[in-house]
Amino acid sequence: NAGVTQTPKFQVLKTGQSMTLQCAQDMNHEYMSWYRQDPGMGLRLIHYSVGAGITDQGEVPNGYNVSRSTTEDFPLRLLSAAPSQTSVYFCAVRGGVTDTQYFGPGTRLTVL
Amino acid sequence: AQSVTQLGSHVSVSEGALVLLRCNYSSSVPPYLFWYVQYPNQGLQLLLKYTSAATLVKGINGFEAEFKKSETSFHLTKPSAHMSDAAEYFCAVSKSGGSNYKLTFGKGTLLTVNP
């Protein structure tokens, strides 16, 4: 998990509230992505970015928004939180000579 | 399209016994294959990966996996389980050719190690 930080670690929201999950990297890699992890579902790709100014949708993008203004940061926005978005969210950074994806420590989100 | 099936959501072994976690994949192009481990309340850590070089891949903590194209499998093994191996293990697939932007994960296998 070296070089990938996520904040906050825990968050509780009420239905309809908005918030931004932060992801930052100091590895200077181009590709970043967001996954959500739900029990018995594995990890599912929400959005990804292949570089500053370029984003695209993954498998489960509805209800989430992203932007990539810098190489270092890739925030994930929930515009109007719903209980179905209760999950653990992981940011990942791909790069290096082995093209490995490195995961952050995660953000545990509960929507009441 | 790519998909991963992990056979067995929960595997229980005794300390010192063989660990075998099964993964079958489906991919329309030659795949890259990965095994990740997740310890409780932590992120995912890469155990090993197959990227079309040697079919037998050795990873960290004594784990290894063999890519079998004819069986579309990438099973994870360890000869002797330790208590510290207790964790959830995820198999994942991506496209080969340097474009592994999207990882498709299996649903995970929880490994329990009994003393």
Predicted pLDDT of residue B2: 83
CA A25/CA A6 separation, integer angstroms: 9
Query: What SS3 class is residue B85?
Result: helix
Closest of A56, A30, A37, A58 to residue A46, by C-alpha? A58
Best of B99, B101, B109, B110 to mutate (most A CBs within 10 Å, chain A): B101
> Residue B73's pLDDT band (boundaries 50, 70, 90)?
very high
Q: Report how many Cβ contacts below 8 Å link chain A to chain B.
A: 56
The answer to whether B46 contacts A94, with C-beta atoms less than 8 Å apart, is: no
> Residue A35's pLDDT band (boundaries 50, 70, 90)?
very high
The answer to whether B42 contacts A105, with C-beta atoms less than 8 Å apart, is: yes
Q: Cis bond leading into A8, ω under 30°?
A: yes
Predicted pLDDT of residue A1: 47
